[in-house]
């Protein structure tokens, strides 16, 4: 049922969030880490809707840090600490699962999140199938901008591969006269800070 699936997805995302916290919390200057609250399935045999979910009530301003369709970027994602850490969490999961899984619909109050979704490739990931379309993974890859928390965790920039080549035609003539040799020699690391700086302003 949809309700069971909802529990399964949120609690799976919660496990990833715990692993993320374990890695991020000890880092100097990282601070508080987003948490996905648990959701419980209850059976009510006497009720005409026999299954329901129960979770902690979140009190405060409810914010959508990342919505299903990656094109609708909520400005609070980039401007708030919680929003940036949610973006980093998505990047961390994406990297950990080799691009096979992405936690979507990050929303909640402050650092406490609920009602999340998960997108997986069609075949799923380690026997798990998400409840969101694979296109969210593609959108994430195209739209994610690394921030200082991505840097702290040492995550690899997603702005390499096909996007760099597509943009290459416009930048080649300006600053890389001999781009083919330069491209091979410039290590990825040297190019990352540029992405990082531009996304900060």
Catalytic residues: 105
Strand ranges in the chain using DSSP code E only, listed in sequence order: 35-36, 39-43, 51-55, 62-64, 101-104, 107-109, 112-114, 117-120
Burial 94-133 (b: 16+ CB within 10 A, else e): beebebbbbbbbbbbbbeebbbbbbbbbeeebeeeebbbb
Distance CA 104, CA 66 (A): 7
Exposure on the CB side of residue 165, measured as CA atoms within 13 A: 4
Q: Which residues are CB-neighbours of 113 under 8 A, at least 6 positions away?
A: 17, 34, 35, 36, 37, 65, 86, 106, 107
Task: With beta carbons less than 8 A apart as the criterion, state whether 122 and 93 touch.
Answer: no
Residue 133, token pair as written in the block:
């379309």
Nearest to 119 by CA among 111, 107, 127, 129: 129
């Amino acid at each position: 049922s949809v309700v069971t699936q909802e529990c399964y997805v949120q609690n799976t995302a919660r496990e990833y969030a715990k692993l993320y916290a374990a890695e991020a919390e000890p880092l100097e200057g990282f601070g508080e880490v987003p948490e996905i609250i648990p959701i419980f399935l209850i059976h009510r045999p006497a009720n005409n809707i026999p299954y329901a979910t129960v979770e902690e009530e979140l009190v405060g301003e409810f914010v959508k840090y990342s919505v299903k369709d990656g094109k609708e970027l909520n400005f609070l994602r980039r401007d708030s600490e919680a929003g940036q850490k949610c973006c980093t969490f998505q990047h961390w999961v994406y990297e950990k699962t080799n691009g096979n899984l992405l936690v979507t619909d990050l929303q909640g109050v402050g650092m406490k999140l609920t009602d999340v979704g998960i997108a997986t490739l069609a075949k799923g990931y380690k026997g798990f199938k998400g409840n969101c379309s694979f296109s969210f993974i593609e959108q994430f890859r195209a739209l994610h901008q690394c921030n200082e928390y991505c840097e702290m965790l040492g995550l690899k920039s997603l702005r390499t591969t096909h996007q760099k080549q597509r943009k290459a035609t416009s930048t080649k003539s300006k600053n890389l006269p001999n781009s083919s040799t330069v491209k091979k020699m410039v290590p990825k690391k040297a190019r990352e800070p540029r992405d990082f700086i531009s996304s900060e302003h």
